[in-house]
């Protein structure tokens, strides 16, 4: 089991539920826009939010942002240790910074001491795109081994100053490299792992890469907190993250829709029907599995694992529960009857 760290009250690692993170894409020094986006992310199910801190104006805005939000706030900092100190003073709950990149041990010491004094963890965020040159030459490019060695280099620097309140990420834009790097890290340490694939692209491909990378690792028992990265509204990252957790069985909250792919037996507009059911399910919080199947002959059997379901036929459909047919229903009433049944569960 991994070691546990606490980020603004949210535990990461040590058997805690896998938390969902996202990152704002507003200008951090635009406090109103950033707070508004963080509130939308919180309402969508985000557990921890990160903001970029590219300059002092952003760092100085953190205190005011923090006052107006309920989510734990993480400051994302590259190279400039003064920004880290300012962010810590502003009350952030975690800092993402790579100690090897901030220009000297005195600076690492200052950041480590400030984090320790304020009881906040550091995430070491190794990124395949910005690996140290000596490691690139040693390994001949971005390899999982190079990424893991980079992580241990940063960890060692923090250890020099007696700091071990650490979590680690090892992201690359290659799904396979990313997965191997996390597996290697999990074999060699028990630091909690922030899992994600980076620069994945637009929503469709980005979701696929994240589902494979993050979902695959989670299915192997690796990963304590996750971030889906999409070139899209960050809300999409939360929806995708929630679906990944559901798909690997790590979140039971809310319903899961299963529907058949349709085939030559289908005599109903199943795509529209499944869309309507999906839309109405978004208002429901019960942890149930709901099936929408394309034919009454095979549908109930194929979906026998579902709690409830409907199967469409030629004008008449059926309502079923755990694979057993409850009643025949005229097609146009199918969805309403399904939701009446769901209400009674």
Give the binding site for ligand SF4 (CB under 6 A).
Answer: 260-263, 265-266, 293-295, 298-299, 302
Nearest to ligand SF4 of 234, 313 (CB atom): 313
- Listed in sequence order, the residues at least 6 apart from 98 whose beta carbon sits closer than 8 Å to its beta carbon are 78, 124, 125, 126, 154
Question: CB under 8 Å to 88, separation ≥6 — which residues?
Answer: 75, 95, 111, 114, 115, 118, 120
CB of 334 to ligand SF4, least distance (A): 14
Query: Which residue reads 């220009």 in tokens?
Result: 103
**Of 77, 190, 184, which is closest to residue 124 (Cα–Cα)?**
77
Based on CB atoms, which residue is closest to ligand SF4, 235 or 316? 316
DSSP string, 143-198: -HHHHHHHHHHHHHHHHHTT---EEEEEE-S-HHHHHHHHHHHHHH----BEE---
- CB closer to ligand SF4 out of 25 and 304: 304
- Give min distance, CB of 329 to ligand SF4, in A: 17
User: In the bound complex, what is the minimum distance in angstroms from residue 262's beta carbon to ligand SF4?
Assistant: 5
Minimum distance from residue 315 beta carbon to ligand SF4 (Å): 15
**CB closer to ligand SF4, 144 vs 299:** 299
Residue nearest to ligand SF4 (CB): 294
The residue among 115 and 291 lying less far from ligand SF4, judged by its C-beta, is: 291
Please report how many Cα atoms fall inside a 13 Å half-sphere around the Cα of residue 140, on the Cβ side.
0
State the minimum distance, in angstroms, from the CB of residue 261 to ligand SF4: 5
């Amino acid at each position: 089991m991994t070691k546990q760290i606490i980020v603004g009250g949210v535990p990461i690692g040590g058997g805690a539920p896998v938390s969902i993170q996202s990152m704002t894409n507003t200008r951090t020094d635009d406090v109103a826009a950033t707070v508004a986006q963080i509130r939308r992310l919180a309402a969508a199910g985000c557990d921890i939010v990160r903001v970029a801190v590219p300059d002092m104006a952003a760092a100085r805005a953190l205190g005011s942002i923090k006052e107006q939000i309920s989510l734990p706030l993480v400051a994302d900092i590259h190279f400039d240790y003064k920004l880290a100190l300012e962010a810590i003073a502003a009350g952030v709950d975690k800092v993402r910074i790579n100690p090897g990149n901030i220009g000297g041990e005195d600076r690492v010491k200052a950041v480590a001491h400030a984090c320790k004094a304020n009881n906040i963890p550091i995430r070491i965020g190794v990124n395949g795109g910005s690996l140290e040159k000596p490691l690139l030459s040693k390994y001949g490019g971005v390899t999982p081994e190079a990424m893991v060695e980079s992580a241990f280099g940063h960890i060692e620097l923090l250890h020099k100053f007696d700091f071990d309140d650490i979590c680690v990420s090892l992201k690359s834009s290659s799904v396979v490299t990313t997965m191997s790097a996390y597996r290697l890290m999990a074999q060699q340490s028990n630091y909690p792992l922030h899992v994600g694939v980076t620069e994945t692209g637009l929503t469709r491909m980005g979701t696929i890469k994240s589902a494979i990378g993050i979902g695959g690792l989670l299915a192997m028992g690796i990963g304590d907190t996750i971030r889906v990265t999409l070139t899209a509204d960050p809300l999409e990252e939360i929806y995708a993250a929630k679906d990944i957790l559901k798909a690997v069985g790590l979140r039971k909250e809310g319903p899961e829709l299963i529907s058949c792919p349709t085939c030559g037996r289908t005599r109903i507009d199943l795509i529209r029907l499944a869309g309507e059911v999906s839309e109405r399910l978004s208002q429901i919080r019960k942890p149930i599995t709901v099936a929408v199947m394309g034919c009454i002959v095979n549908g109930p059997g194929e979906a026998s694992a579902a709690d409830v379901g409907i199967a469409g036929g030629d004008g008449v459909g059926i309502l079923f529960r755990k694979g057993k047919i409850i009643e025949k229903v005229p097609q146009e009433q199918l969805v309403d009857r399904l939701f009446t049944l769901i209400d009674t569960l």
